[in-house]
Amino acid sequence: MLYNYNEVLEKYKDDYNVKKAIENKELYKIEKGLYSDKPNVHYLAIIYKKYPSAVISGHSAYYYHNLTDVIPQKTVVCTNRNATRIVNSKIKQIRMKNELYNLGKITILYEGSVINIYDKERLLIDLARNKNKISYDLYKEIITNYRNIANSLNMRKIEEYLSYFVNDRKIFEIIQDEVF
């Protein structure tokens, strides 16, 4: 389990006991202000602990939903427009307005780590919206995988989500032509 500094202090009472716990390998310092009772922690668990309101999106979300086998170089996360800026070279932050930020947000268990991520329907809309910003090969791979799961996608959700976007008709046409 991951703990922040305040949680560790609550459990061990003071810095001296925290240092003793680290020496005795009861506790492991993962990074500044983050501790664990295990020596190795999945990086997604660290992201979730440090940024609990961040939602995994973009290339990262396609990878975690098994829609691509291209491992993302950075973890793409969305946050509320008013959220604090994330300064981390391994994370790309996208800020968005509240209504879009919460749209399609779900929580899943990935390799033992709980993460916030967008559902496949929301990601399909984002893929269609950003078609020209993604490499052709990656786009084709993800679209092909969406075709394979087309029957399991919830069309009502897609239609509901589309109502929040400006070019909803154009996006819907792309989805219809490419996936269904």
pLDDT tens, position by position, for the chain (180 residues)? 889 999 999 999 999 999 999 999 999 999 999 999 999 999 999 999 999 999 999 999 999 999 999 999 999 999 999 999 999 999 999 999 988 999 999 999 988 888 999 999 999 999 999 999 999 999 999 999 999 999 999 999 999 999 999 889 999 999 999 998
Which tokens hold the place of 16?
A: 């001296």
Note the pLDDT of residue 54.
95
Domain borders along the chain are 2-41, 46-178
Structure-token pair, residue 171: 């996006």
Residue 176: what pLDDT? 94
73 in Cβ contact with 91 (< 8 Å): no
Among left, alpha and beta (phi > 0; psi -120 to 50; other), residue 175 is: alpha
Distance from C-alpha of 74 to C-alpha of 89, rounded to nearest angstrom: 8
pTM, two decimals, is 0.87
- Token pair for residue 134? 């993604």
d(CA 117, CA 105): 6
For residue 113, what pLDDT is reported?
Answer: 86
Q: Cβ contacts of residue 46 below 8 Å, gap of 6+? A: 2, 30, 31, 34
